[in-house]
Amino acid sequence: MPSPRQNCLPSANAFFLLGILILISYSNSFRAAWHFDDYPNILFNPNVHIDNLSLEDLKGSFYEAGSNQSRLRRPTAAVTFAVNWYFGKDNVSGYHAVNIFIHILTAFFLFLASAQLFRTPAMAPLYNENQVHFCALLSAALWAAHPIQTQAVTYIVQRMASLSAMFYILAIWLYLKGRNGQHQGYAVFFYAGVLLCFVLAVGAKENAVLLPLSLLLAEIIFFEHLKEKKKRKFLLLFSGFAGLAFFLGVLLLMKGNLFSFLQGYESRFFSLSERIMTQPGILVLYLSQLFWPVADRLSLMHDVEISTSLLNPRTTIPCILIVLSLISAGIALIHRKPLVSFSILFFFLNHLVESSIVPLEMVYEHRNYLPSFFLFLPIAFGIQKGLEHFRTRPLMYGLVTVFVIFILISEGIGTYTRNRVWATEKFLWTDTAHKAPGLARPVHNLAECYSKEGNDAAALHLYQTALHLKDMRNGQKAYTYHNMGNIYLKQKDYETAADYYQKAVQDNPLHTDARYNLALVLVHLHKTEAALNTADRLLSGNKKNPEYHNLKGMIHVKTGDTDTALYHIKKSLVLSPASKNTLFYMGICLSKAGNYEKSLVYLKRAFGLSPNNIQILLHITDNMIKSGNEKGTGRAIEILFNKFTVSSLKKALSASGKSVLLPDISADLSEELYNKLNQISETVNSFGLLKAGESVEK
């Protein structure tokens, strides 16, 4: 039995080599952009936006956004996002550094766990320590450098998957250390560590609930040395514990309802039976990607054909047979080829949650991060045997060595290349839309990228394309209609914008953003009654939303009904007393009602919260003019010209009155400001400092 000192150097070398391999492979990922689910889980999640590292703030990050600390949301991962936010806010580099470090640790723990498998009673008599370290290190390296892992590492939010897997493999290593009896006096601490890691792994992602079954699988395959009576007793106790832990984990996963897996299919474009028939094909796809990781076959999303029956598509039955054959082979090889058996059965066992009956999306590559842990171990073992066989034949020995190096370099290059796709949102969605042309979501998201760039024509074309793709179902079209409406609103084509907003709320009556924007557009179209009715619909769904009260109040300001407007703005003020928008609207409302002194109080409070808001300062100046405060007017205008540039003042004046939420200023203030801006333009132009066309025109 090797001593701790004998194991120390190989372990340190393994950590160093795996770290170097991973850092080189992921060296171009530190600036990769935010993507997709990063936004709701991190960027738009106030629970992880902590200002200090107090226990209270860290505890607050455990909960789902908007749940008022009533529903846990993967707390192990969430607290790491909160700490990242504390140190770097939305700077992606820190998040990627943590993700890569987690990947390095996971690969190292995989090396340690794999080495422990060779020291189990079923394996120990057959191998020496050099063989053990070679196989364990090579298999961990093949796993770590594989390009399919980029989705769990470079995609920031999938830290949930990688962190869960890290604690999962750490638990397996601790369990094997305890069972192998290398440190009998510390066995209880190893098992306590297993329990702690189990809790932390499930806290990062719920599919770690399968850990007890994985340990039971290892027990059955690798610990054959026990006498039958003792073995039966141990397995009975272990099975009871594993079953209890699994049951409690399922309760957590299913939120206390064992039949909750039946809920959620109404929002999918496939049924429970279709998912069950399709998943064998997905598992075959995963295996093919793992053993043939060509760049063109890796994608954030996959356009897979849903199995509507055993005969449609024709690949359904063959894929089912392949999966059943592999599982059968894994069972049959338990005694003869324990490594092969364990790698096969571990893979399928750990796909049970995400590739069975739970109504999740059909396919995501990051789901292979954990199940693929031991798939490369038999390969590494085969390579090691080959090297031993050819040890006396230098040419063949050299060829095998070169082949191993070539595979590792190829994987590293594949990972580096794949990481380029994650660099920007546009790159990612272009790649995904190209590889999954039948899916609406990638096309829709690519359209959003073009819209952000200002390429409205390309965005509208892509949105129209997305509307007719197979997974664009009712309730989802609303988001595409809404985005199209936003483009036409920006173009001031209010009629067309209103049409698309109406289509959005017809497709999904709960799409409040579309209904909100519809109300704004209806005001532009002078359909104030319809706008008020739309605002009422919003308020009927949520009377405690201050922005809905602000909307209705400002529509009434537009109609001249300041009393009703004040009623709603006051409601908003009660709900959100420190809101810059609400204070601004209250100031405008009071000014329209002729209460200039009180209006100024609210406008100044709003400006204190947003001192760079030019519109608020414009309305403060307007209020001074209306109240006859000449000294205050002069001071406000002086601040305007000292604080803001000519071009920004020009834009602000142009925007004033163009929206119900941005009322116009008085003609007197507009006249005075335009005169001053023209004087400045003429003065600057006389020195030749103003380009043609930059003069201010009223």
Kind and range of the H or E run holding 201: helix 187-204
Confidence of residue 406 (pLDDT cuts 50, 70, 90): very high
Q: What is the pLDDT of residue 40?
A: 93
Judge whether residue 255 has pLDDT over 60: no
Q: What is d(CA 124, CA 132) in angstroms, rounded to the nearest whole number?
A: 9
Residue ranges and CATH numbers for the domains of the chain are 4-34+90-401 (no CATH), 543-604 (1.25.40.10), 612-698 (no CATH)
Higher pLDDT residue, 668 or 248?
A: 668
| Other residues' Cβ atoms within 10 Å of the Cβ of residue 233 | 12
Q: Helix axis angle, 228-253 relative to 187-204, nearest 10°? A: 30
pLDDT at 436 over 70: yes
Name the nearest CA neighbour of 408 among 4, 17, 2, 6.
17
Q: What is the pLDDT of residue 495?
A: 96
pLDDT at site 5: 47
Q: Per-residue pLDDT tens for 261-286?
A: 556 777 777 888 999 999 999 999 99
SS (H, E, C) 393-423: CHHHHHHHHHHHHHHHHHHHHHHHHHHHHCC
pLDDT at 162 over 50: yes
**What is the per-residue pLDDT across 35-55, written as a single tens digit (0 to 9) for each?**
999 999 999 999 999 999 999
Residue 316's pLDDT band (boundaries 50, 70, 90)? very high
Q: Please tell me the distance from the alpha carbon of residue 590 to that of residue 557, in angstroms, as a whole number.
A: 10
Arithmetic mean of pLDDT over the chain = 88
The pLDDT value recorded for residue 482 is 97
User: Is the confidence at residue 538, as pLDDT, over 50?
Assistant: yes
| 147 secondary structure, DSSP code | G
pLDDT for position 680: 66
Measured from the Cβ of residue 159, the count of other Cβ atoms closer than 10 Å reads: 29
DSSP string of 159-192, one letter each residue = HHHHHHHHHHHHHHHHHHHHHHTTTGGGHHHHHH
pLDDT at 589 over 70: yes
Please report where in the chains the tokens 């400092």 appear, as a residue.
689
Question: Would you state the pLDDT for residue 233?
Answer: 59
Question: Taking a C-beta distance cutoff of 8 angstroms, is the pair 133, 10 a contact?
Answer: yes
Average pLDDT over residues 666-674: 76
- Whether residue 86 contacts residue 185, with contact meaning beta carbons closer than 8 Å, is answered with no
In three-state form (DSSP H/G/I as H, E/B as E, the rest C), the secondary structure along 552-564 is: HHHHHHHHCCHHH
Q: DSSP assignment, residue 309?
A: B
Report which of residues 630 and 198 the model is more confident about: 198
DSSP 634: H
Cα–Cα distance list, 183 to 115, 121, 187, 361, 465 (Å): 16, 15, 6, 44, 63
Between helices 440-453 and 477-490, what is the axis angle to 10°?
A: 20
Tell me the pLDDT tens digit for each residue of 73-87. 899 999 999 999 999
Asked whether the predicted pLDDT for residue 148 surpasses 50, the reply is yes
Is residue 132's pLDDT more than 80? Answer: yes
Q: In this structure, what are the phi and psi dihedrals at residue 662, rounded to the nearest 5 degrees?
A: -140, 75
Position 689 pLDDT exceeds 60: no
pLDDT at 248: 59
Is-contact 215 173, C-beta < 8 A? no
Q: pLDDT class for 231, splitting at 50, 70, 90? A: low
pLDDT value of residue 674: 75
Mean pLDDT of 367-388: 95
Q: How far apart are CA 669 and CA 643, in angstroms?
A: 17
Q: Averaged over 400-410, what is the pLDDT?
A: 95
Residue type, 209: V
CA nearest neighbour of 135 among 117, 148, 150, 158: 117
Position 226 scores a pLDDT of 52
8 A C-beta contact, residue 591 and residue 666: no
Task: Answer yes or no: is pLDDT of 397 > 80.
Answer: yes
From the list 96, 21, 350, 366, the residue with the least C-alpha distance to 211 is: 350
CA distance 478 to 204: 32
Q: Yes or no: say if 412 and 25 are a contact pair by the CB < 8 Å rule.
A: yes
- % residues pLDDT > 90 (the chain): 66
Q: What are phi and psi of 612, to 5 degrees?
A: -105, 15
Q: Which residues pair with 63 in a beta bridge?
A: 72
Query: Which contiguous run of DSSP H or E holds residue 202?
Result: helix 187-204
- Asked if pLDDT for residue 122 goes beyond 90, the answer is no
Q: Is the pLDDT of residue 471 over 80?
A: no
Predicted local confidence at residue 228, as pLDDT: 57
Q: How much is the pLDDT for 221?
A: 92
SS (H, E, C) 238-258: HHHHHHHHHHHHHHHHCCCCC
Residue 698: predicted pLDDT: 37
- pLDDT score for 308: 93
pLDDT, position 696: 41
Residue bearing the bigger pLDDT, 232 or 153: 153
In angstroms, rounded to a whole number, what is the distance separating the alpha carbons of residues 256 and 307?
31
Q: Which of 329-338, 628-637, 680-689 has the lowest mean pLDDT?
A: 680-689
pLDDT in tens, 440-457: 999 999 999 999 999 999
Tokens 């201010």 label which residue? 696
Q: Determine the pLDDT at residue 223.
A: 86
**Residue 13 pLDDT level (bands cut at 50, 70, 90):** very high
